[in-house]
Structure formats: C-alpha cells, structure tokens
Amino acid sequence: MQGMVFIDKPSGITSFDVVKTIRKKLRVKKAGHCGTLDPLATGLLVVLLGQSTKLFSRFSEFDKAYEATLELGVSTTTGDCQGDVIDRRSIDGISCKDIQHTLDVFKGDVIQVPPMFSALKYKGKKLYELARKGIEVPRKERNIKIYELNLNKFYLPYVDFSIHCSKGTYVRSLAQDIGAKLGCGACIVKIRRIGIGSFSINDAIKLDQVNESHIRNWPS
C-alpha cells in the first residue's frame, strides 16, 4: 500500500497519534506525517504511506497557510495557551490600527528564532525535551518569508489573523514577536492549518472517517 491521506487533525492529540491511528486503520506498517502540528493545532496534516514516504522532502519545501487567534497581554513558556504564564501586561490603548501596523511590519523577509518548545534537535536532543527540564540552549536564527499576514478580526484581548508563509515558520514565535513589538506580550490560543502548497484543508477528512478509499496518489 502506498499513497497519501489528507487528515483534518483534531485538537488535543499529537501528529504522531494521527499516524498511529492510520497505521492501525489501514493496516500499513510504514507511514509518516509531513509538517508537525502541535497538540493544540487543528487542520491539514498529510500522512504518507509505504513507498510514498519518499515524497517527504517535497512536502517539506511547500509553503503553509494558517488561520490563528492570539491573545494579547499574556506571555507563556511555549508561546501558546498550553504553556505556563510568565508575564501579564496591560493592553490598554492598543487599537486595531496598532495591530494592523504591527502585522505589516512582519510581512516579507523575516529573521526568526525557533522556539524551545519545538521538535528541532540540539546535540541529538529534541528542544522540547530540554525545555521541559528547564534547560534553554542557543538556537540558530533562520530566514523565513511571510507572503501574507492579514488581520481578520479584532476583539480585545483577542486578534484573529491569517498567514501564508514559507517552510520553517513558527506561528507561535511570530505571536511572541508581535506581542513584543506591541509591548504587551502575546500567545497563540487557536491555530488551524488550512493549506500546504496547493493542497487545501478542503481536501482533508476527519480521522475517524479514514478508509482505503481516501488514499490518494501523487498528482500526475
């Protein structure tokens, strides 16, 4: 068996949990996901099966698209609402215009530092494993590109936005950077991936619906 399955990942489980479920449902030994989604996140997760796992490098190069909500005035250890709160600040005086201006600053070529709570490795150890032990290590800056960053809704302390970005972009880090720019801090409370390259969340199915009829081949 080979091919790929597009899943609308639910919140509360890991990307690897999705892969394990698909392995069991489809009775396939070899499977892997493309582009990890945090447990908090929902949306498009591509799972490759059998020999199609060789396509991983192609998917890793694709741009991504997300819809997200950040909460202003709250900073956490993870950059999202599942981390420990480390700071709270006033958001008095922050306007919709301030938000729009700040989002515009982050459009284009951006230098970003990956978060400690990520699956990147440092001397063979995953960063999130070190972070859980209270250990922080240097992370290399990376060049990313944000093609679109749009304000969808402003309702303090929350801001809904959408983003189209290059590979390697951490939306949690972006939220922290936005909060720092505004001077109040911010964290992600909701995130949904809606696109990977030309593939859309509209192509995805719920995890409990998966069967062999949902296996796709690489488009010719």
Residues labelled as active-site residues: 38
Instruction: Please report the DSSP string for 162-199 in residue order.
Output: EEEE-TT--HHHHHHHHHHHHTS-EEEEEEEEEEETTE
**CA gap 215, 128 in Å, rounded:** 32
Q: Classify the C-alpha dihedral 103-44-208-202 as positive or negative.
A: positive
Helix (H) or strand (E) holding 34: strand 31-34
* Cα radius of gyration rounded to whole Å, the chain: 18
**CA gap 204, 194 in Å, rounded:** 10
CB-CB neighbours of 58 under 10 Å: 12
